[in-house]
Each structure stands twice: as C-alpha cells, then as structure tokens.
Chain A
Amino acid sequence: MDMNTDSLSTIWHRQPVPEAVAQEELLARIARVRRKAYWRHGRMVLLLIGTLVYMNVLLSYVPAFMLSTKIGVALIDLAILLYVVASSDLIFLWIRPSGKDVTVSDHLQEMVKLKQRQQFLFGRFYLIYFLLLLAGLTLYIIEYTLRMRLYLAVTTWVLTGAWTVIFWFWVRPRQIRRHMDKVDASIAELRRLAGQLHVSS
C-alpha cells in the first residue's frame, strides 16, 4: 500500500463514531457536576456550622468569664473556617484558569503556574490553620484548667501537648506530603506535555 496522507486520512475516517448524545444530556451532565461540587462544599459548610454550634452550646453550659477563652473560641472558629476554605477548592476560585481562548501551549504554561500557586497557598494556609488552632485551643483551656484540680489540669495540658506533637510531627507532614505529591505529579505531567510542544524541530 502506498501510504500517503490521503490513504492515512481514509483509514482515519473509518473510525466508528457513536451518535452524539442529546443536548439535554449535556445539560444534565453540567447539572451533575454542579451538584457534586455543591455537595462537596456543602458537607464542609455543614461541618463548620456543626462545630460552631457545638462550641457555642458548650460555652452556654459552661460559661466563660475570661477574655482568653472567648478569644480562643474565635481563633478555633477562624482555624476551622480556614481549613474549610483550604481543603475545598474555594481558595482556588480566584486563581483558576483565565478561561480565555489561548493556545494549547499557553494553556499548559498557565496550568503549571496555577498549580504552583495552589501548592504555595496550600502550604501557607495549612501553617496558619495549625497555628490558629493551637493558639485557640491553648487560650480556650486556660480558664477551664484553672478551675480544675491540679492532676486534672496537668492531664489536660499533657494531652493537649501530646496532641500538638502528634499533629505537628505526624499528621501535618503526612497531609502536606500527600497534597504536594499530587500537585507535584500534576506539574511534572504538565511540564512534560509542554516540553513536547517546545522541542525544537
């Protein structure tokens, strides 16, 4: 067979093509994606509201007199809010692709930059989250430990310290590594594809 572009094109056009789905199905697909996104964010928001309600109920049962306790609660609330934002895609809404009609090559470059910014932001957000949570928790338990008997107060501080150590040295690095590995793999893949386009002929 004399394989020229025409004969290659003939073979190419022999590819079986299924019927296009109805436009309604495409719209349903958009709706499905939206519902999924709402549900994902919705769960986070519910978790946030649940925690806030729990802490406020706790405060009403065991009234706090010291300002440090109230500041502690506010800091914990802030930390939870930050966690919700960082763990969902909310912080990435303002650094998403421009949506402009750009070439594939530019799109790949744009995606690499975007992933790098996401990676940077995630690291910062996570650090701030942990510091806020730790500060909030410490301030929160000061008043209650002052009211406790010595051995209970010591136990509370020891447990809080242990939690801090476990979180800082075990949970935090694992979560950050998991996220970074994912983004690193993504960046490497995008760079590899961009590299294919920029290999000089």
Chain B
Amino acid sequence: MTFEAIYREYWEKIYRLCRGYVGDPDKAKDMAQETFVIVLRQLPKFRGESSVGTWIFRIACNCCLRELEKGRRDPQVRLQADIADVSVFDHRAEQSGSDRRDELAFLYRCLAELPETDRLLIGLELEGVPQAQIAGILGLTETNTRVRLFRIREKIKQKFNGYEHR
C-alpha cells in the first residue's frame, strides 16, 4: 500500500480519533499530522506483522498518549474549555442546526470526562474498528476490551439520557 493511499484512507479517521481525544481542533490536526509523519518515515520498515490499519491506529494512539506524557497540556482541562467555546465548531456543524451541534458538544464533554485510554477505546470503536483489532492495538484481551467498551457506552448513554431530560 502506498503512502498516498494510506493518507487518503486514514486521514479523516485519525483526525477524528485525535479530536475526540484532545478536543482542540488545531491540536488534533497537529497530532494527526504527526501520526502521518511517523507513518511516512516508518513505512519502508513496515513488515506487515499486523494490518496497516492496526499499525496506523497504534501510531496515532501513541501520539495521543505521548502528547499528555510530554506535559504540553492537560487534554481534559482544555477539552472542557473548548466545549464552552462555540467557535470550535465548523461551518458544517453550525449549518446543521443547534441540536446536532449540541449533541456533538455533549459527546465531547462526555469524552472529556473519561480516562485517556477509554477515550481511545471508544474512539476506535466509533471509527468502526473491530473489537479484536482494538484489543490488538491497545494490548488488551478481547474480553477486557468488550467489557470496557460496554461500560464506556453505558456511561455515555446514561449521560446522554440525563442530557435529554434537562
């Protein structure tokens, strides 16, 4: 698979994963770019021990977690701040009506309240990555992945139910 094909296929997925993790759109773009810089550099050494998708998502997850480790920011704090800032929404979301915008904002809020690795877990699932592959990306057992995802979904569901009844 060429870099161009990988870039085309995975850019949106990786950006959304980073955005869900970090909240800030500029930072998410930066992290997604960093992911593809690593992909570009390491592609000649990629031996295909795992699927391309697993490999790229691993790099993206490591980029996300390293962002925190580097101590450049506290994603949770920043994410909360961004939610209050309407300007983080793009034109498409704004045009789609306030309900849709609110839902997305509320999803960001729910994600911000999750531990970092749970944000990655749910982000990967929402990107349609199969649970077995998520387990392989993060280094968890499939059972553990399944149970954790169930709990995360339940948590978000409860929050959304509370949000509906406000």
Contacts and interface: CB of A to CB of B under 8 A. Distances in A.
A186 interface: yes
A173 to B, nearest CB: 22
- Secondary structure of the B side of the interface? helix
Contacts of B118: 196
Given A1-B160, A196-B118, A15 B33 contact: no
B140 A20 contact: no
A200 B117 CA distance: 14
Contacts of A20: 7-8, 11, 36
B72 to A, nearest CB: 11
Interface stretch (A5-13, A82-90, A153-161): A5-13
A103 B16 contact: no
Given A1-B160, A189-B69, A196-B117, A12 B139 contact: no
Nearest to B118: A196
Interface of B: 3-4, 7-8, 11-12, 15-16, 19-20, 25, 29, 33, 36-37, 40-42, 45-47, 49-50, 55, 58, 61-62, 65, 68-71, 89-93, 96, 100, 103-104, 107, 115-118, 120, 123, 125-128, 136-140, 143-144, 147-148, 151, 153, 156-157, 160-161, 164
A110 to B, nearest CB: 10
A67 interface: no
Contact of A103 (B19, B70, B123, B138): B138
Contacts of A74: none
A101 B58 contact: yes
Interface of A: 1, 3-5, 8-9, 11-18, 20-21, 23, 26-27, 29-30, 33, 99, 101-108, 111, 185-186, 189-190, 193, 196-197, 200-201
Closest 7 CB pairs of A and B: A105-B139, A103-B139, A16-B90, A201-B147, A12-B126, A20-B11, A196-B117
Contact of B42 (A23, A99, A105, A189): A99
Nearest to A193: B65
- Secondary structure of the A side of the interface? helix
A33 B37 CA distance: 11
Given A193-B69, A196-B115, A103 B136 contact: yes
Contacts of A4: 157
Given A11-B103, A30-B37, A101-B58, A189 B68 contact: yes
B71 A185 contact: yes
24 contacts: A1-B164, A3-B157, A8-B107, A8-B156, A11-B100, A11-B104, A12-B16, A13-B16, A16-B90, A17-B12, A21-B33, A26-B40, A101-B49, A102-B58, A103-B138, A103-B139, A104-B61, A104-B120, A108-B65, A186-B70, A189-B69, A189-B71, A201-B144, A201-B151
Nearest to B92: A16
